[in-house]
Structure 1
């Protein structure tokens, strides 16, 4: 644990990175056996071929804990080295309290502060990295950041327009000062609350409380997704945030070795690449294997890009994401 109130003396950034994926792989052909769809239809519209599905015995905290342990091991840290936890998810362990206390207890980090960025949508992990960076700069803290979703529990398995999109996963990073940190060079974020109705799940809060009738209608699993509007906002906001963070860093898109966007669907990823004028080989894509894993998608993609050797020392890597809210965020890393 860092001494209290110690400001960062080294670059602040990623000190460890880890992921967790459930074992079960679900193919498009399996979806075609359940609903009126086909592999060709899903691939042509989303680019998704498979996704991971959590087991019945697994919960959000289980996935988060496994990713957290992987990130600690990657950075050669012990639980006692962590000063704070920030967890981003739209699929909490329970309604109250938030999910991070369950992870804190099972990880054995002691009575450190922990909290969720709940309902922050798929932008949650990138937003959490920016928060962790500020804590590291001001206090010298090592902050465990987790993005986790068990979206297959949230969705309606009979809604062909949304159920084929999602998968379950978790990703985590240790953020703090260190001589070998993957530096967080710059970050930016924004929200347009006037677009809060284009993507989300309305039932279950105080505005539309859950009742027996609403549960029977499946409203607690009804994902509202105004596809065309979400597409327009996603492409516009991720591109805008990317330009903003590059401007903050005094860099250009030509300086970026790899763009790692939120893996929503292939059409959005291709449109963002065109808007940024980045060739496809400099945009990391794994949505075909995992689907949309929400706030876990960016750490999962970043981890996989690193493992595949797509990132070299000195590379600038651009993270960009959007999510229900309507939130967006971007962050520039120097490896």
Structure 2
């Protein structure tokens, strides 16, 4: 483990969530009919938000550990969509091949997507001892996390 970072963009805290259940709003017929007991996206997040934050976090972590983004051997980024990951790699000036993607096999799998991508890269024999790995994730609320690991 080399470094990590956690950032939030709290202004988006109510843009997605589960809006009913438990004591706040007990489940009723209306709640079920409106699907308020399930994850809902109330507003569409700006498409540039993830690439912007992922790029900043990658640059910040690289600076803290004394490398440039191209010296990272593998990027494992939240598997939301290909375009956001590719845009991030382009922003960093890094080959898109360094971002291992599995969403074409599994779709979006939530918080499991990053370890699934890591495992897939491992199974394909892509990881070598001493490789520098950068993990970047985002989740509802909005929260962003990144970690650098020497394999």
TM-score by structure 2 length? 0.90
Aligned-partner Cα distance in 2 for 1:208–1:243: 42
Higher relative contact order structure (alpha carbons within 8 Å, sequence separation ≥ 6): 2
1:281 aligns with 2:85: no
TM, length-normalised to structure 1: 0.43
Which structure has the larger Rg over C-alpha atoms?
1
Following the alignment from structure 1 to structure 2, what is the Cα–Cα distance between the partners of residues 234 and 199? 15
The Cα shift of 1:198 comes to: 2.5
Counterpart in the other structure of 2:14: 197
Q: Give the number of the structure whose residues are more often strand, by fraction.
A: 1
Aligned to 2:2, the other structure's residue is in SS state: strand
Q: Quote how far apart the aligned CAs of 1:307 are.
A: 1.3
- How many residue pairs align between the two structures? 151
Return the alpha-carbon distance in structure 2 between the equivalents of residues 326 and 200 of structure 1. 11
> CA-to-partner distance for each residue in 1:238-278, whole Å, 9 max, x for gaps?
11111121122111112111111111111211121122221
- Give the match for residue 37 of structure 2: 220
RMSD over aligned CA atoms reads 1.8
- Matching residue within 38, 49, 58 for 1:242: 58
8 Å contact 1:237–1:322 — kept in the other structure? no
Residue of structure 2 equivalent to 1:270: 86
CA distance in 2 between counterparts of 1:190 and 1:198 reads: 17
Match of 2:108 in 1: 292
1:309, CA displacement in angstroms? Answer: 1.3
